[in-house]
Amino acid sequence: MINAMEPVRWPLDHERVLPLATLDMARVFTSGRNGLAFDSGVLQEAGMPTTKNVADAWARLSDSDLWGLLGQEIEGHPEWSDVQCREILQAWVELRRSSPWQAELLKYWQRWKQHHLELKKGLAQAGHLTWAQKCRYCELWSANRPIMSPFCGVAEILLGVSELEMKAPPMESGASSRYRQNPGYFGERKGSQAEKKARKSEVIVVSADSTLEKFSEFGASRQLVWALENCGLSWSLCQPWDDSIELDPHSVRGVVFWSYRHRSNDFVYHAMVFEKACEARRIPVINSVFSGWDVRHSTILGNLRQAGIRCPKFQKFASVDDIELPYPLILRVDGIHRGQQMRLVHGVDEARALVNAKRTQFLASGGAGVLPPPNLAIEFIDIADEQGRYHKCRAYVVGNNVVLRHKTVSTHWLVNFASSESFADSAAANRDFIRGSESDLGLLARAGRASGSDVTALDYSRTQDGEYVFWEANRLFKMNGDKDYDLLEPTAESKVKRRAAIDRKLGKSLLALLQERLSIH
């Protein structure tokens, strides 16, 4: 049997010795593995990947995806020592460093001191982690910070923090044993529960917000508060890093994960630890973080396509020359929402000029107020009607319930709240849409479930022949009247009342979800 760490020659531009396990990783790039969002698999020659195959695959993956793959590989080899895991990571760093865009990013990475401090602080707060958990942490951290998270830069900090861990005193045996039995165990969280007054509630809402006032800034959150107040159970708001919460399965009926601000204080990571504790105690969870944390467009579109629901074809790219989809295409930043940095390009020259210009601006800015360059190509599907108007529908999906919210119209292909226009017949069309007489509610519910979240806002359109095309699913969302989504002035009182009635439908659907999942009779 070949040793997992046996050196094998890898024909790169300059020869270097890499572990066999690094070569094995090319096998995870084949189509259908790990739910990765690209269509074509990587060809292999006689069972052994070629340099070009691996390089092509890596060009299609984000740095966050690579952390996920590395974590899965390490988790699949529990026999690997700490030293071996370090060698594997360092080998990946060397391979990733050969990417031109990665090399360009690394020139500017040293300037991003705040990023460095946040990552170091987060890893320190996370406490002792296995190498698989460290990779998972970096995956979440990178995915929720698409602005500047080069794989090699993040790896450098992780290796530095891990070096300090090796020099630190070992954990006491009892804690170490409990940690290995249940990684992320809630009782291992920093602080002593015995020294703090535990807050007992039947329903716990986990959010990044520390106050109810802050939590209630968004309309969807206000509807959740209404549902909680009317469900007949006591409830409290907490942050996932708050160790004063008592997770007693005899008193806690359920936990709801709810946060618009995924990036705040590494919310996703801490929420996963919290959810793991709920799972261990068999406490029901609503809006799971594990299944719905990744709100990048590539992930959502991949989930929809996997469920057999029509949506645009898409491809991640590091270089415009890698794009294989036919033009025209929409280029955008994967994970940046609200229509920001979206451009329609009609050919490769236009795409290259756009991406090069955005990259130059981004790198020169140091990231201050400038979005990164596009890294996701999406098929342009022309859904204009006979009058040349584009429309987009929004529906809330809560469990199996669907609330049809609005239908917006614009003469521009990018239809959102800011670009919507009013026409003589648009108000009547919106009222007809809300009545739902022509909507396939079953399809909408299926698309909502495919997103991975129990509560989501679907954006979709219908072609001239009536076929549905889904653009994205938003886990926790803003509504009309929220900040930056202000109602148009003047707005008739009757219209405000109609909107309030529709919003209350969301509240009632949330109440029904609580009653179903928490067995409230």
Q: Residue 338 is which amino acid?
A: R
Look at residues 150, 167, 184 and tell me which one is the last residue of a structural domain. 167
Domain co-membership, 42 together with 149: yes
Domain contains 155: yes
Please give the DSSP secondary-structure letter assigned to residue 263: T
The residue out of 167, 185, 207 marking a domain boundary is: 167
- The Cα 477–Cα 135 span in angstroms is 29
Q: How many residues does the chain have?
A: 521
- Do the beta carbons of residue 362 and residue 373 sit within 8 Å? yes
H/E segment holding residue 193: none
Say whether both 200 and 259 belong to one domain.
yes
User: Which position has the token pair 């148009």?
Assistant: 488
Residue 2 within a domain: no
Task: Provide the domain limits for residue 371.
Answer: 318-379
Distance from chain centroid for Cα 412: 28
Element (H, E) at 306: helix 297-306
DSSP 16-56: EEEEHHHHHGGGGGSTTGGG-S-SS----BTTB--HHHHHH
The whole-angstrom separation of Cα 274 and Cα 256 is 11
Kindly state whether residues 178 and 77 are assigned to the same domain: no
**Do 456 and 341 have their domain in common?**
no
pTM, entire model: 0.76
Same domain, 32 and 158: yes
Rounded CA separation 102/106 (Å): 6
Does 78 share its domain with 39?
A: yes
| 187 and 271 co-located in one domain | yes
Distance from C-alpha of 248 to C-alpha of 262, rounded to nearest angstrom:
26
Q: Is 459 in the same domain as 323?
A: no
User: What average pLDDT values come out for the chain (521 residues) when binned by 10 residues?
Assistant: 33 37 46 36 37 57 85 87 88 83 82 81 82 90 78 90 61 35 38 42 91 87 93 92 85 90 77 92 93 86 93 90 93 82 92 92 75 90 86 91 86 67 65 75 93 92 90 79 50 59 88 93 74
Please tell me whether residues 219 and 233 are part of one structural domain: yes
With respect to residue 501, please indicate whether it lies within any of the assigned structural domains: no
Report the number of distinct structural domains present in the chain.
4
Contact predicate 336/371, CB 8 Å? yes
CA separation for the pair 159, 138 (Å, rounded): 12
Q: In 147-296, which ranges are continuous DSSP H helix? A: 151-167, 173-181, 212-215, 219-229, 267-280, 289-292
Domain-terminating residue out of 341, 359, 379: 379
Q: Tell me: do 211 and 276 sit in the same domain.
A: yes
Do 108 and 154 belong to one domain? yes
Q: Tell me if 178 sits within 8 A of 188, measured CB to CB.
A: yes
